[in-house]
Amino acid sequence: MATPVTMPVLGLTMEEGTIAQWLKREGEPVEKDEPLLLVETDKATVEVPAPASGVLRRIVVPPGQTVPVKTVIAEIAAPDEPVAAPPPSAPPAAGPGGAPQVAAPARPLTPGPAAAGGDGGGSRVFVSPRARRRARELGLDPTTLRGSGPRGRVVEEDVLAAAAVITTAPAERVLATPLARKLAEEHGLDLAAVAGSGPGGRITQDDVRRALEERAAVAAPPPAAQAPVAPLSRLRRLTAERMAASARSVARVTLHLEADFTEAARFRQQLAPEFARLGVPRLPWDALLVKAAGLALAEHPRLLAQWVEGAGLRQPSGVHVGVAVALEPEGLVVPVLRDADTRSLRALTADLLTLVEKARAGRLLPDEMQGGTFTITNLGAYRIDGFTPIINPPETAILGVGRIADQPAVVDGQLAIRTRCTLSLSFDHRVVDGAPAAAFLRRLAELLERPYALLGI
């Protein structure tokens, strides 16, 4: 029997995914757990393994198309097994009253028994499987349509007729995602003039962006000479949007502190061979910073609180520290190290090395980038002394780390060469005031200046 390949659920909040690339062609053999395709989510591009061995008999969803999780996207069968007819999609989860939950248009188009009251004010509406599947593709609620089939059953022709009404209706009835409608409204764009690329011609946010760009190009005078514009990757665009949103909404303040890393450098040099002997090949500076931040945050939990618009402050239950990893030119990803305050430095180091390797190979899972309560971003490798990092919402604070270098310093009244580093703490002043933030940064510096506390007391 053929094995269906479905859009996987790659995170607790994932609702849909985009087929980035099929790694196998139709008719090619596949082995179970062999990489089969790449799926692009809001967080990263993830390699999905084959669920069974056999032959990739049919690809249902082509590259570039976005579908809900658990949707059948391909089929794997034995080499001599015939291709079966495409199975009907599973009906969506039942909503209140037992009615299927399907995205509905702004207003019912052709009232059915449920909308008009029917013969009993609450009688059940019968919908054929083909009509239900077609309605889901077109973003219609089949229970709001009048059926022309036997005993009032809603059939596929009823759904197509309703969709035809939408395509000829005014702009307020044009099929469009909520984000597309909001973006069009903000820029005064008539959705009726926008071509939709989503299922059933639904207008997406990207369609609105393209229409706005085309409108701007027509209105602007032609440039004398202009370099071609390279399209943004999904990750690059998401990074830009989130950072811009953070800069607009967060009341950011940045504190700078110059810490003495002389003892930390000696500690790291002495500990690295022991870690290597225990199977951890390297001890990066970021591992020491994560452990120190975890201990300091446990002592200053106000830096963990998160602003909830219109509600107040939320206090997360754990200390989970993210480390920003640059993937040029795609953008930034932030893998998260869980329970940084209670786990050993060696365990955190091993996890950090694994997560950074997966990030650079494009194999991070969404769950490995979610749930962070504090972030560290390190630009020391680029000879940057200090900078103002942008907070990663919904977190309240982020630590910027500059270069770690030998510098002249006055120690006990004498000039000496010390290893120093500038730490920059950006925090949301809506959540925490300057004095508590400064106390946290001072404690963080103390732990790095006396690093043996990182091994546990």
Tell me the catalytic residues.
429, 433
Whether the bond into 92 is cis, omega within 30 of 0 = no
Category of 21 on φ-ψ map: left (φ > 0), alpha (ψ -120 to 50) or beta: beta
Question: Nearest 10 degrees: CA dihedral of 177, 182, 184, 185?
Answer: 140
Strand-pairing partners, residue 22, are 37
Q: Give the number of other CB atoms < 10 A from CB of residue 324.
A: 19
Q: Smallest Cα–Cα separation from 363: which of 10, 37, 44, 13?
A: 44
Quickly count: other Cβ atoms within 10 Å of residue 298's Cβ.
Answer: 13
CA separation, residue 170 to residues 89, 189, 195 (Å): 31, 13, 14
As a whole number of angstroms, the distance between CA 233 and CA 241 comes to: 12
414 φ/ψ angles, rounded to the nearest 5 degrees: -120, 145
Rounded-to-integer distance, Cα 257 and Cα 445, Å? 8
Q: 424 forms bridges with which residues in the sheet?
A: 256, 400
Q: Which residues have a Cβ under 8 Å from the Cβ of 371 and sit 6 or more positions away?
A: 318, 320, 336, 338
The DSSP bridge pattern shows strands 336-337 and 3-6 to be unpaired
